[in-house]
Amino acid sequence: MKLLVTGGAGFIGSNFILYWLKKYPQDYIINLDLLTYAGNLENLKSVEANPNYQFVRGDICDRGIVETLVEENPDVIVHFAAESHVDRSIKDSGVFVKTNVLGTQVLLETARKKNIRFHHISTDEVFGSLEINDGKKFEETTPYDPRSPYSSSKASSDHLVRAYFHTYGLPITITNCSNNYGPYQFPEKLIPFFIANLMDDKKVPLYGKGLNVRDWLYVEDHAKAIDAVIQKGRIGETYCVGGDSEKANIEIAKLLLKEFNKDESYIEYVEDRKGHDLRYAINANKIKNELGWKPEVTFEEGMKLTIDWYKKNESWWRKLTKLS
Ligand SMILES: NC(=O)c1ccc[n+]([C@@H]2O[C@H](COP(=O)([O-])OP(=O)(O)OC[C@H]3O[C@@H](n4cnc5c(N)ncnc54)[C@H](O)[C@@H]3O)[C@@H](O)[C@H]2O)c1
């Protein structure tokens, strides 16, 4: 199979490429990535000389580049490229609309001309926010209610992807996944940011009272879910993906403090994020029952793997903390 991956130099995209080339060494991957602050070719060092891997630096909004790559007849476009950090979207939403909405439209329009299978990577944030103790979870039929510029731009892209299925019959699938963590995550995101701070004996800043709850999935399990949907997913369908692992931010902070032998004086409570969604939770029964996927790494195992990775790869993240 030939894959055109967008955003493959970012956190999840690079983990996906490493996973895919290990599992399917006969497959060919073209990685189109603009290398924004979040893109890092160091993540892909182990495959850069692989004859079945090609990196192309370019913008998904650039129709010319996208058309040239689609001329290479990929069997599937796996679309990760996005601006992905909520806090940045609150400061400046423009580039979020450009990349996440217009970029997705350019890819869809180009894919349509050759009827190329299109898998879109999205987020659970499009569904809005749940109450802390209401027992509800997001699922495929949950109405969209995005509340940050980031989640609104991702919601727009999901709608466009579905519109290309209904209007043009483009063979699409979508995954809406909860928060990922693991190796190669840019140290502006909660878990690597806290690890980096604690390794430098600095406090961890916690929004509000730290009560916001997220579901967490180890990144390789996300790659496996995308694999399952690409191989076996029903065309036109959306699959919610989650780790069955809801944690309040304060629980994560406390777990990390324990790992680094620090007391709670290392928590610094800071002013809450504007419009901060309270709780996200995912019901992943559809992908579990239909495609046989389930998370394989528990939160405790995943956190150990992640902490070890950041300890062993200090040179990787130290350069990036200057950019965040
Ligand atoms: N990180 C999460 O927890 C999470 C959860 C669910 C869904 N997602 C989605 O998964 C995808 C990947 O997320 P991530 O955390 O790996 O993001 P990331 O920010 O780490 O990586 C994004 C990548 O896209 C590239 N990119 C940005 N703009 C581009 C453009 N215009 N053209 C080409 N490449 C461009 C960047 O250079 C970078 O390599 C995103 O679509 C995101 O919405 C992320």
What CATH number is attached to the domain comprising 175?
Answer: 3.40.50.720
Q: How confident is the model at residue 134 (pLDDT cuts 50, 70, 90)?
A: confident
The one-letter code for the residue type at 96 is F
Give the residue whose CA is nearest to atom 28 of ligand 1.
82
97 within domain boundaries:
yes
212 within domain boundaries:
no
103 within domain boundaries:
yes
Give the residue whose CA is nearest to atom 25 of ligand 1.
7
Q: What is the pLDDT of residues 270-304, one digit of tens each?
A: 999 898 989 999 999 999 999 999 999 999 999 99
Which atom in ligand 1 lies closest to the alpha carbon of residue 181? 3
Q: If you measure from the C-alpha of residue 104 to the centroid of ligand 1, how many angstroms do you get, rounded to a whole number?
A: 12
Structural domains in the chain (count): 1
**pTM (2 d.p.):** 0.97
The one-letter code for the residue type at 228 is A
180 within domain boundaries:
yes
For residue 323, pLDDT beyond 80: no
Pocket residues for ligand 1 (CB within 6 Å)?
Answer: 6-7, 9-13, 33-36, 38-39, 59-61, 80-84, 99, 103, 121-123, 154, 177, 179-180, 186
The answer to whether residues 32 and 58 touch, using CB atoms and an 8 Å cutoff, is: yes
List strands edge to edge, sheet with 213-218: 179-181, 213-218, 246-248
Looking at residue 133, its pLDDT comes to 86
164 within domain boundaries:
yes
272 within domain boundaries:
no
Tokens describing residue 54 = 């090609």
Radius of gyration for the alpha carbons in the chain, expressed in angstroms and rounded: 19
231 within domain boundaries:
yes
Q: If you measure from the C-alpha of residue 265 to the centroid of ligand 1, how many angstroms do you get, rounded to a whole number?
A: 33
206 within domain boundaries:
no
Question: Per-residue pLDDT averaged across 200-221, rounded?
Answer: 96
The answer to whether residues 222 and 176 touch, using CB atoms and an 8 Å cutoff, is: no
Domain residues for the domain of 76 are 2-186+218-243+278-297
For residue 204, pLDDT beyond 90: yes
Question: Per-residue pLDDT averaged across 184-198, rounded?
Answer: 96
The answer to whether residues 261 and 225 touch, using CB atoms and an 8 Å cutoff, is: no
